Amino acid sequence: MLRFAPSPTGDMHIGNLRVALFNYICSIQRKEPLIIRIEDTDTQRNIEGKDKEILELLALFSIEYQDVIYQSAQLKYHRAMAIQLLHDKKAFNCFCTPAELDVKRELAKKNKQPFRYDETCSHLRAEDTIDNTNPFTIRLRRPDSDITVVDKIKGSITFHSFDIDSFIIMRQEKYPTYNFACAVDDMISDISLVIRGEDHMSNTPKQIAVRDALGYDKSIEYAHLPIILNHEGKKMSKRDDASSVKWLLEEGYLPQAIANYLILMGNKVPKEIFTLSESLEWFTLETLSKSPARFDLEKLKFINREHLKRLDYKELSRYVGFADDEIGALAHLYLEESGTLKELRAKIEPIFSEKSIPSMYQESAQTLKAVIQNAPFFEEYTDFEQHTMKASGLKGRFYFKSLRLLLTGAEHGPEISDIYKYLKNYLAEVVK
């Protein structure tokens, strides 16, 4: 079983989507189910409705899964496992107060030492604390030996037992900490491979320590994906618009193009333009670069244009807000100069709107407009041109620029004869 474990705490970041895509691809390749685990235990940070939004985005990107689990609903297991660990003396109750711990943390900071728990409570015997009514947390006993994480992308990394620390698994209110909940859930769901962002690398030994302490001996494979950098070479953050999947979609990047780019970025792939289902045939985590991937919006735009070109006219027409094949064909002409749906709509919409004509062509356009409105229907552009040129008495650029402006609202663009081919049935709506 594989899992994608988003937190419903904000807009989906492209890094999360990349993790979701890779989990999906690997689940298909390994013929193992994929589950979605909504990590909603940090109630302060949860944002209402974000879980639904994440699931909608997964559907939009054709990421299929077997089940959705809410981490908060697993609380009974987290508590049961914590009790088990206490019983086995792998965990202990800690009565140190936050204030006491803060003093020690400050001291460590002053001495330029990393703060680690000093084991004050680790030797308390249960019978000695039975009457203690003070609030307490539960800590996992520091593992006896170091833990080596074997990562499919990063290689082997060893974490010292001292650094894994006797960390808190249950807070005073008896809700699990993130690492504990995650470790238990991965165990209960029988996860075989965890693919996630490299910001979780330091959590991994702690999560392994939890499962070791519970006597779980199935080893889970790990792949931590390198971070994504922005064009300045800094970690892509919420401040970068392009980091938000929603923003990219609103800008008019197609889901299939975004998926294509996220699979290609920082990777060695057999071809540049492909669909998610094609990538199932050759994708492998092995070819991913260990170093951070740089996000390049221009490259995404190039890929997006290629995917737009592959849409059939009906689909393209729908994407720009129309229903007819002809408008799709017309939009297709504009793909040379537009890389996103937003740019494309900005070319197509003016065609059906009130035109603003530069003063230089106002008079000629006015004349030509009257001629077009009264002209019979011409199947061929050459006949249309011959008739309207003659009837208007216009020549050269006064004819051609005026015609272009009347048809498209722009001074430049694709060949007018090509445009006519798709607009001839709409002249009454276009030239009004």
Q: What is the binding site for ligand GLU (CB under 6 A)?
A: 5-7, 39, 182, 196-197, 200
- Shortest spacing between CB 200 and ligand GLU, in angstroms: 5
- Shortest spacing between CB 400 and ligand GLU, in angstroms: 56
Return the closest-CA partner of residue 71 out of 105, 37, 120, 101: 37
> Between residues 225 and 259, which has the closer beta carbon with respect to ligand GLU?
225
The residue type at 257: A
Cβ(139)–Cβ(121) under 8 Å? yes
> How many helices (H) and strands (E) in the chain?
20, 12
> Between residues 197 and 321, which has the closer beta carbon with respect to ligand GLU?
197
Separation of alpha carbons 48 and 125, rounded Å: 43
Separation of alpha carbons 342 and 349, rounded Å: 10
> Between residues 228 and 431, which has the closer beta carbon with respect to ligand GLU?
228
- Shortest spacing between CB 181 and ligand GLU, in angstroms: 10
> Between residues 42 and 119, which has the closer beta carbon with respect to ligand GLU?
42
Cβ(330)–Cβ(409) under 8 Å? no
> Between residues 50 and 347, which has the closer beta carbon with respect to ligand GLU?
50
- Shortest spacing between CB 120 and ligand GLU, in angstroms: 30
Nearest residue to the partner ligand GLU, using Cβ: 196
Helix (H, G, I), strand (E, B) or coil at 395: coil
365-400 burial, b at 16+ Cβ within 10 Å, e below that, comes to bebbbebbeebeebeebeebbeebbeebebeeebbe
> Between residues 225 and 344, which has the closer beta carbon with respect to ligand GLU?
225
> Between residues 12 and 330, which has the closer beta carbon with respect to ligand GLU?
12
The stretches of 201-334 forming alpha helices (DSSP H) are 204-213, 245-250, 255-264, 276-279, 297-310, 313-319, 325-333
Strand partners, 224: 196
Strand partners, 38: 70
Separation of alpha carbons 424 and 432, rounded Å: 14
Separation of alpha carbons 16 and 11, rounded Å: 10
> Between residues 182 and 394, which has the closer beta carbon with respect to ligand GLU?
182
> Between residues 1 and 101, which has the closer beta carbon with respect to ligand GLU?
1
- Shortest spacing between CB 51 and ligand GLU, in angstroms: 12
Return the closest-CA partner of residue 33 out of 6, 66, 57, 61: 66
- Shortest spacing between CB 267 and ligand GLU, in angstroms: 20
- Shortest spacing between CB 72 and ligand GLU, in angstroms: 13
Separation of alpha carbons 140 and 90, rounded Å: 6
- Shortest spacing between CB 186 and ligand GLU, in angstroms: 8
Cβ(194)–Cβ(220) under 8 Å? yes
- Shortest spacing between CB 294 and ligand GLU, in angstroms: 21
Return the closest-CA partner of residue 409 out of 424, 395, 394, 419: 419
